[in-house]
């Protein structure tokens, strides 16, 4: 035990407390050591929020470099600051027994601001900011950086109502505020309150020395929390919280993911038998993803990552998550639909042959009359989804085709009689009515719904656009140029797109999901 272990640490009061705690415990095991303080980039750059520095491990990177250069033997960190994947050649040597993992609100005067619409709270953490805004959406959050003492001074010198701190940090430097509230509802950062020691992978002496310092229960809990963080692909740029707790023979893991503004929150908690908890983090992440977590993560990434694909129809969570993870997507409705109230007499006077080419027309029918009162003899429609909706809500479909032209060609040969009622929109396509008119089939057109164009100017980063009808193309071109790739839902839409776009791709099936698959294949 003649070797003197060089302990690398940041030079803040909190970091030195942690390093001295490790030094004391090593001494109790009979090992000699010396402290080697350094300044990290996170300590030197205080005028930017952490997530804007663009560096993984902003508080640990300097010590990692010092260790790899042979200037220190071990490094001591607040575990929540350590990236979930350590640099090659560096390993976790020990986790000390965890301190208080809770977040604390230090405030001035009184607590009345918690019940008021306006208040100013300071924090440099996206996680704390998002959770606070989720609970108090009308409050203002200001950025707060620096060591514990510096942040305490800033709270005193500003007109803020309060600031959020880690309870463990306050306790370790002996800093007490007159007024504090424990934020028991706030899910802490993964591994908050824990101190970790790292060493070189091939330094057996230092690793063996630190082995006696390891607290197994804390190691199990922090490993789960950091695995949850890693699987969510989070870090300083995503509002993610996680907390694992062992009670008797069980271990529970709570995880939370929020949007940066706090408006969206997905929280999950699972419990497992201790010893059979290996997949607990995976189970939590899977539940987060099943409730829209992938889309939320892509939205968070979109704060810094510009979209390259745009959908002219607002995407659902499930649809947005169908895109390959490397494709940043945005969406908006370029067509606004409003259902019309169809008079009962008009519906009852409809011909025995009825033509429906969209689900919107079906919805208008259902909204206008009790479906049991509809006595349509023959219903002809376009699209499988429209067929399913009709048969679920109105009655049996006599025949359907995948496009309006194909249905028109069928009707020319098979329609029973020479008249039909056509439930359509105010800007329906001419193809079907024209073909039927040429063959002397008379249509009574009933305007079931109104279609209004709602164009949006898309970002310059957009390289491809998803179109679902000729109307969406027309609406898009009112505000945008045609120098993008057009991904179309069907032949009718593609035919219109080819009049304006040089690159047009058509989905194999006339479904939105098929268009998304087309985009994914194009970006492979």
- Tell me what pLDDT residue 452 has: 87
On the question of pLDDT at 202 being above 70, the answer is yes
Burial status of residue 63 (CB atoms within 10 A of its CB: 0-12, 13-18, 19 or more)? buried
Residue 387 in contact with residue 397, Cβ under 8 Å?
Answer: yes
Average pLDDT rounded to a whole number, residues 219-248 = 88
Where do runs of H (alpha helix) occur along 232-381? 280-290, 293-301, 317-320, 344-348, 359-368
- Tell me what pLDDT residue 440 has: 92
Identify the three-state secondary structure at position 308: coil
Residue of 475 and 38 predicted with greater confidence: 475
Q: Is the backbone of residue 136 left (phi > 0), alpha (psi -120 to 50) or beta? A: beta
How many Å is the maximal CA-CA distance in the chain?
104
Residue of 74 and 42 predicted with greater confidence: 74
Answering whether pTM is above 0.85, one says no
- Tell me what pLDDT residue 411 has: 95
Banded pLDDT at 50 (limits 50, 70, 90): very low
On the question of pLDDT at 53 being above 50, the answer is no
- Tell me what pLDDT residue 270 has: 96
Between helices 359-368 and 384-393, what is the axis angle to 10°?
Answer: 20
- Tell me what pLDDT residue 234 has: 53
Residue of 398 and 326 predicted with greater confidence: 398
User: Percentage of the chain with pLDDT > 90?
Assistant: 65
Tokens coding 337: 């639909």
Selected catalytic residue, list 43, 81, 103, 203 = 81
Query: Residue for token digits 């009933």?
Result: 446
pLDDT tens by residue, 303-362:
546 789 999 998 876 788 788 877 888 899 998 888 999 998 899 888 899 999 999 999
Residue 213 in contact with residue 25, Cβ under 8 Å?
Answer: yes
Q: Across-strand partners of 272?
A: 251
334 φ, ψ to 5°? -90, -10
The Cα–Cα gap between 70 and 61 comes to 14
Identify the three-state secondary structure at position 386: helix
Structural element, H or E, at residue 25: helix 13-28
The Cα–Cα gap between 241 and 102 comes to 11
The Cα–Cα gap between 275 and 251 comes to 9
On the question of pLDDT at 43 being above 70, the answer is no
On the question of pLDDT at 218 being above 80, the answer is yes
Q: In what order do the strands lie in the sheet with 419-425?
A: 335-339, 442-453, 419-425, 353-356, 378-382, 399-401
Average pLDDT rounded to a whole number, residues 245-266 = 95
Residue 246 in contact with residue 282, Cβ under 8 Å?
Answer: no
Residue 240 in contact with residue 127, Cβ under 8 Å?
Answer: yes
For residue 2, CA distances in Å to 30, 32, 33, 70 come to 10, 8, 10, 18
- Tell me what pLDDT residue 321 has: 75
The Cα–Cα gap between 365 and 469 comes to 21
pLDDT tens by residue, 84-112:
888 889 999 999 999 999 999 999 888 89
pLDDT tens by residue, 104-153:
999 988 889 999 999 999 998 999 999 999 999 999 999 887 888 889 99
- Tell me what pLDDT residue 426 has: 86
On the question of pLDDT at 495 being above 70, the answer is yes
pLDDT tens by residue, 5-27:
999 998 888 999 999 999 999 99
Q: Is 81 designated active site?
A: yes
* Domain architecture of the chain: domains with CATH: 1-96+193-214 (3.40.190.10), 103-182 (3.40.190.10), 216-303 (3.30.160.40), 306-334+454-522 (3.40.50.10090), 337-453 (3.40.50.10090)
On the question of pLDDT at 200 being above 80, the answer is yes
Banded pLDDT at 62 (limits 50, 70, 90): confident
Query: What length is written for the chain?
Result: 524
- Tell me what pLDDT residue 47 has: 41
- Tell me what pLDDT residue 41 has: 47
* Gyration radius of the chain's alpha carbons: 31
């Amino acid at each position: 035990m003649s070797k003197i272990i060089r302990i690398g640490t940041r030079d803040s009061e909190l970091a030195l407390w942690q390093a001295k705690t490790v030094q004391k415990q090593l001494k109790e095991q009979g090992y000699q050591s010396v402290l080697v303080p350094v300044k990290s980039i996170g300590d030197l750059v205080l005028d930017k929020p952490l997530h804007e520095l663009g560096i993984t491990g902003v508080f640990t990177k300097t010590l990692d470099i010092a260790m790899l250069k042979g200037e220190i033997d071990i490094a001591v960190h607040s575990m929540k600051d350590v990236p979930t994947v350590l640099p090659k050649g560096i390993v976790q040597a020990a986790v000390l027994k965890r301190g208080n993992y809770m977040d604390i609100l230090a405030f001035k005067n009184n607590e009345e601001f918690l019940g008021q619409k306006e208040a100013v709270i300071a924090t440099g953490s996206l996680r704390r900011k998002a959770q606070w805004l989720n609970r108090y959406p009308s409050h203002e959050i200001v950025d707060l950086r620096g060591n514990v003492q510096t942040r305490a001074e800033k709270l005193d010198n500003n007109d803020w109502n309060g600031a959020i701190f880690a309870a463990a940090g306050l306790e370790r430097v002996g800093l007490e505020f007159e007024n504090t509230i424990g934020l028991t509802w706030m899910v802490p950062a993964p591994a908050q309150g824990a101190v970790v020691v790292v060493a070189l992978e091939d330094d057996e002496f230092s690793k063996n020395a630190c082995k006696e310092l390891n607290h197994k229960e804390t190691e199990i809990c922090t490993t789960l929390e950091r695995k949850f963080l890693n699987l969510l692909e989070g870090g300083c740029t995503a509002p993610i919280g996680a907390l694992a707790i062992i009670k008797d023979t069980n271990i529970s893991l709570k995880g939370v993911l929020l949007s940066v503004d706090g408006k969206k929150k997905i929280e999950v908690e699972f419990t497992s038998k201790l010893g059979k908890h290996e997949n607990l983090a995976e189970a939590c992440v899977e539940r987060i993803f099943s409730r829209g977590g992938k889309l939320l993560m892509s939205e968070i990434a979109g704060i810094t990552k510009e979209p390259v694909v745009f959908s002219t129809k607002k995407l659902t969570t499930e649809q947005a998550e169908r895109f390959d993870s490397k494709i940043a997507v945005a969406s908006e409705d370029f067509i606004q639909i409003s259902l019309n109230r169809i008079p009962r007499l008009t519906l009852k006077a409809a011909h025995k042959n009825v033509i429906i080419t969209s689900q919107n027309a079906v919805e208008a029918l259902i909204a206008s009359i009790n479906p049991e009162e509809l006595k349509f003899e023959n219903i002809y429609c376009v699209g499988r989804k429209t067929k399913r909706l009709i048969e679920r809500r109105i009655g049996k479909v006599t025949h359907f085709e995948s496009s309006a032209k194909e249905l028109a060609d069928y009707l020319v040969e098979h329609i029973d009689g020479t008249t039909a009622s056509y439930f359509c929109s105010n800007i329906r396509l001419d193809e079907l009515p024209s073909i039927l008119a040429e063959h002397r089939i008379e249509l009574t057109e009933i305007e079931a719904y109104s279609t209004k164009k709602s164009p949006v100017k898309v970002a310059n980063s957009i390289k491809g656009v998803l179109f679902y009808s000729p109307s969406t193309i027309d609406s898009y071109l009112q505000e945008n140029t045609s120098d993008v790739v057009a991904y179309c839902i069907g032949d009718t839409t593609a035919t219109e797109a080819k009049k304006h776009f040089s690159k047009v791709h058509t989905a194999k099936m006339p479904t939105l999901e098929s268009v998304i698959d087309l985009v994914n294949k194009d970006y492979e």
